[in-house]
């Protein structure tokens, strides 16, 4: 086996977004494209010779081929060992678990998360640092800078490595260790949750349905929910990972997880429903005919954390992304602990967790997690809910409504306008920015604008500053509208409009969020001039 040094030229579009580099599969299949980015990672992270790397992905189309390239490049770049999930599979939270448990130097995670897969779908790659979390901006910027000047990459000439059998295989001077992708993660979950209590709940007739959406969490959910917890076979639906996710969109929300929604809102519905996404880091929680917003989910879990073994000592703090509702802030205030507001992107939570400042974290984009790993974790959130349900012996809806009665309800919704022309989306955001001087103090319907800004964040641990993180329009009654262009798509632009109003009146807690927020929705459309600028008058997805 020999190491080849292959001449190459830079690609101009390899700037990582909030969750790594995401493009269409066809972009990664271009000669040298993946190799350039992987070499840029290796050139930037300064791994000592002989270091151990973790590699795995969500099983989407091109996952196996990409892993073979990465393994041969890792061998050519001086790594001593690579831990790779059997079949090339590692959910994103499981990859974080493996990095932390075996103290590998870092890891390469192959995923485009909740984006569609298949030959015409999306692919993604990101680097996670030694704490198990996504690389911070200083690392991703270094990778991007290197990608703009790269002239060659190194790769070992070798046959492909077998990935389907657990064991070790030499690859040049490196060892490829294929590991069980599920066991380490499942064992970690058993240390956090009362599996005995959950088993008793399920044995007592409590019924659940978990939709793996033909994505990576299928094997994890089958092992934990059906095997270790004893739920009936079939409790996990769409549990076989497919390279195209069964031609579905593996995004666990009311629109794309419609098969599960129909079950949980239908006749003879189970007591509990949940779904996870392409790489296993997101979750949707449902009761019988009842949807729990991700913002409320974070708040409810925080309020009930001491009922769960892994968190019985209490929480150091809570962190939420800026667009996420302030429901968790109210819980933190009641508990006497800090609540941090960060930009969107899980990497911003890593410093806070490493510094011991926060225990639970959450984003409105269906991501929830804790300091057990350094990624959001879909199945973890499901198990947390099951543990709370087992202890409280109440329905999902009853628990949430009792929470609202105590803390008030942060009525919340997100409207996504997907596939907008990029130029039109940018002009819309510029128009809102240009309106900043005239908005404060103005009366919009029954709402008076208190402030408007573009959110910036100073990391309290390392002092780093992140600007341009989303437009906020705040009203005097505490309501707000937030606007962001998403960084997770691969085609056109996705405009996200977040709407939030605080409702302390229990007699109004039954209102549908879209009804309660109707005036705010109209004001958002008015301020953005969305229809005139984009031609769109209806969102693609409402959550």
Q: In this predicted structure, what is the pLDDT of residue 72?
A: 98
Q: By three-state DSSP, how is residue 452 classified?
A: strand
Q: Are 158 and 210 in the same domain?
A: no
Q: Are 17 and 111 in the same domain?
A: yes
Domain boundary among 160, 181, 202: 181
Helices (H) and strands (E) in the chain, counts: 18, 27
Residues 538 and 495: beta-carbon distance below 8 Å: no
Which of 300, 289, 292, 294 has its CA nearest to residue 384?
300
- Cα separation of 190 and 65, whole Å? 33
- Which pairing describes strands 174-179 and 81-89: parallel, antiparallel, or unpaired? parallel
Residue 119: count of CB within 10 angstroms of its CB: 12
**Cα–Cα separations (whole angstroms), residue 90 to 85, 138, 217, 218, 269:** 5, 25, 9, 11, 32
Angle between helices 294-303 and 378-392 (to 10 degrees): 50
Question: Residues 272, 370, 412, 471: what is their CA dihedral angle, to the nearest 10 degrees?
Answer: -150
Place of tokens 């990095």: 99
Q: In this predicted structure, what is the pLDDT of residue 489?
A: 52
Residues 36 and 60: beta-carbon distance below 8 Å: no
* Residues in contact with 331: Cβ distance below 8 Å, sequence separation at least 6, in sequence order: 299, 302, 303, 318, 339, 407
Per-residue pLDDT of 162-217, as tens digits, reads: 999 999 999 999 999 999 999 999 999 999 999 999 999 999 999 999 999 999 99
Q: Are 123 and 52 in the same domain?
A: yes
Q: Are 201 and 336 in the same domain?
A: yes
- Cα separation of 299 and 403, whole Å? 9
Q: Are 172 and 246 in the same domain?
A: no
Q: In this predicted structure, what is the pLDDT of residue 214?
A: 97
* Residues in contact with 86: Cβ distance below 8 Å, sequence separation at least 6, in sequence order: 163, 164, 165, 166, 178, 179, 180, 181
Instruction: Determine the structural domain holding residue 466 and report its residue range.
Output: 409-542
Q: Are 20 and 72 in the same domain?
A: yes
| Tens-digit pLDDT string for the chain (543 aa) | 799 999 999 999 999 987 799 999 999 999 999 999 999 999 999 999 999 999 999 999 999 999 999 999 999 999 999 999 999 999 999 999 999 999 999 999 999 989 999 999 999 999 999 999 999 888 999 999 999 999 999 999 999 999 999 999 999 999 999 999 999 999 999 999 999 999 999 999 999 999 999 999 999 999 999 999 999 999 999 999 999 999 999 999 998 999 999 999 999 999 999 999 999 999 999 999 999 999 999 999 999 999 999 999 999 999 999 999 999 999 999 999 999 999 988 888 999 999 999 999 999 989 999 999 999 999 999 999 999 999 999 999 999 999 999 999 999 999 999 999 999 999 999 999 999 999 999 999 999 999 999 999 999 999 989 899 999 999 999 999 999 997 555 568 999 999 999 999 999 999 999 999 999 999 999 999 999 999 998 999 898
- Cα separation of 250 and 114, whole Å? 5
Q: Are 281 and 358 in the same domain?
A: yes
- Cα separation of 228 and 113, whole Å? 26
Pull the structure tokens for residue 148. Answer: 């703009």
- Which pairing describes strands 106-110 and 81-89: parallel, antiparallel, or unpaired? unpaired
Per-position DSSP letters for 28-85, written without gaps between them: HTSTTHHHHHHHHHHHHH-PPTT-EEEEEE---TTHHHHHHHHHHHHHHTT-SEEEEE
Residue 540: count of CB within 10 angstroms of its CB: 14
> Which pTM was predicted?
0.93
Q: In this predicted structure, what is the pLDDT of residue 488?
A: 54
Q: Are 447 and 511 in the same domain?
A: yes
- Cα separation of 310 and 388, whole Å? 12
- Cα separation of 318 and 382, whole Å? 19
Per residue, the 3-state secondary structure of 19-30, as one string, reads CEEEEEHHHHCC
Q: Are 218 and 97 in the same domain?
A: no
Residues 375 and 362: beta-carbon distance below 8 Å: no
CATH number for the domain harbouring residue 471? 3.30.310.50
H helical segments located in 177-249 = 183-192, 195-203, 217-221
Angle between helices 33-45 and 137-147 (to 10 degrees): 130
Which of 20, 61, 17 has its CA nearest to residue 38?
20
Q: Are 87 and 55 in the same domain?
A: yes
Which of 437, 496, 449 has its CA nearest to residue 473?
449
Residue 142: count of CB within 10 angstroms of its CB: 17
- Cα separation of 4 and 360, whole Å? 46
Residues 340 and 317: beta-carbon distance below 8 Å: yes
Domain boundary among 181, 204, 238: 181
**Cα–Cα separations (whole angstroms), residue 383 to 191, 325, 351:** 12, 23, 25
Q: Are 357 and 458 in the same domain?
A: no
Residues 471 and 432: beta-carbon distance below 8 Å: yes
- Which pairing describes strands 360-363 and 471-475: parallel, antiparallel, or unpaired? unpaired
Q: What is the radius of gyration, based on Cα positions, of the chain?
A: 23
Pull the structure tokens for residue 122. Answer: 């999306």
Q: In this predicted structure, what is the pLDDT of residue 109?
A: 98
**DSSP structure class, residue 157:** -
- Cα separation of 376 and 284, whole Å? 13
Q: Are 121 and 236 in the same domain?
A: no
**DSSP structure class, residue 247:** G
Residues with catalytic function: 113
* Residues in contact with 261: Cβ distance below 8 Å, sequence separation at least 6, in sequence order: 254, 273, 286
- Cα separation of 380 and 292, whole Å? 16
Domain boundary among 407, 434, 469: 407
Q: How many domains does the chain have?
A: 3
Q: With residue 468 as reference, give the H or E element that holds it.
A: none
CATH number for the domain harbouring residue 384? 3.40.120.10
Pull the structure tokens for residue 531. Answer: 């229809």
- Cα separation of 195 and 226, whole Å? 12
Place of tokens 């892993």: 67
Work out the burial of residue 101: count CB atoms within 10 Å of its CB; fewer than 13 is exposed, 13-18 middle, 19 or more buried.
Answer: middle
Residues 244 and 56: beta-carbon distance below 8 Å: no
């Amino acid at each position: 086996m020999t190491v080849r040094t292959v001449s190459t030229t830079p690609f101009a579009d390899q700037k990582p977004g909030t969750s790594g580099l995401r493009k269409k599969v066809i972009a990664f299949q271009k000669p040298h494209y993946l190799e350039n980015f992987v070499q840029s990672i290796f050139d930037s992270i300064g791994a000592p010779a002989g270091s151990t790397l973790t590699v795995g992905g969500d099983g989407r189309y091109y996952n196996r081929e990409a892993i073979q390239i990465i393994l041969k490049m890792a061998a050519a770049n001086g790594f001593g060992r690579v831990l790779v999930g059997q079949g090339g599979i590692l959910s994103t939270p499981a990859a974080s678990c493996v990095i932390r448990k075996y103290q590998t130097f870092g890891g390469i995670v192959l995923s485009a998360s909740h984006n569609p897969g298949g030959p015409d779908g999306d692919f993604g790659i990101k680097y996670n640092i030694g704490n198990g979390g996504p690389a911070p901006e200083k690392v991703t910027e270094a990778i991007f800078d290197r990608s703009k000047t790269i002239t060659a990459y190194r790769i070992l000439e070798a046959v492909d490595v077998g990935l389907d059998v657990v064991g070790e295989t030499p690859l040049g001077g490196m060892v490829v260790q294929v590991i069980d992708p599920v066991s380490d993660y499942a064992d970690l979950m058993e240390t956090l949750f009362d599996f005995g209590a959950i088993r008793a709940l399920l044995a007592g007739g409590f019924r659940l349905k978990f939709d793996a959406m033909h994505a990576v969490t299928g094997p994890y959910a089958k092992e934990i929910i059906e095997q270790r917890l004893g739920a009936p076979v079939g409790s996990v639906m769409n549990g076989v990972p497919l390279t195209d996710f069964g031609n579905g969109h593996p995004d666990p929300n009311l629109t794309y997880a419609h098969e599960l929604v129909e079950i949980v809102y239908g006749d003879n519905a189970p007591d509990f429903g949940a779904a996870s996404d392409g790489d296993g880091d997101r979750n949707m929680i449902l009761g019988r005919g009842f949807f729990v917003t991700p913002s409320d989910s974070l708040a409810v879990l925080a309020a009930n954390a001491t009922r769960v073994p892994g968190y019985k000592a209490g929480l150091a703090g809570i962190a939420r992304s800026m667009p996420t509702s302030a429901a968790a802030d109210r819980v933190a205030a009641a508990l006497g602990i800090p609540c941090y507001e960060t930009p969107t992107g899980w990497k911003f939570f890593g410093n806070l967790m490493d510094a011991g400042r926060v225990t639970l974290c959450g984003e409105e984009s269906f991501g929830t997690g804790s300091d057990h790993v350094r990624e959001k974790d879909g199945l973890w959130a499901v198990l947390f809910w099951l543990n709370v349900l087992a202890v409280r012996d109440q329905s999902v809806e009853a628990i949430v409504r009792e929470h609202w009665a105590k803390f008030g309800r942060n009525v919340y919704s997100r409207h996504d306008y997907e596939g907008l022309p990029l130029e039109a989306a940018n002009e819309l955001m510029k128009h809102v920015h240009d309106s900043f001087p005239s908005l404060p103090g103005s009366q919009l319907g029954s709402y008076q604008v208190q402030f408007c800004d573009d959110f910036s964040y100073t990391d309290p641990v390392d002092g780093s500053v992140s600007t341009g993180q989303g437009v906020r329009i705040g009203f005097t009654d505490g309501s707000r509208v937030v606007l962001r262009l998403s960084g997770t798509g691969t085609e056109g632009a996705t405009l996200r409009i977040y709407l939030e109003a605080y409702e302390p009146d229990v007699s109004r807690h039954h209102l549908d969020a879209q009804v309660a927020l109707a005036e705010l929705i109209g004001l958002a459309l008015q301020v953005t001039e969305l229809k005139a600028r984009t031609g769109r008058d209806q969102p693609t997805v409402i959550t």
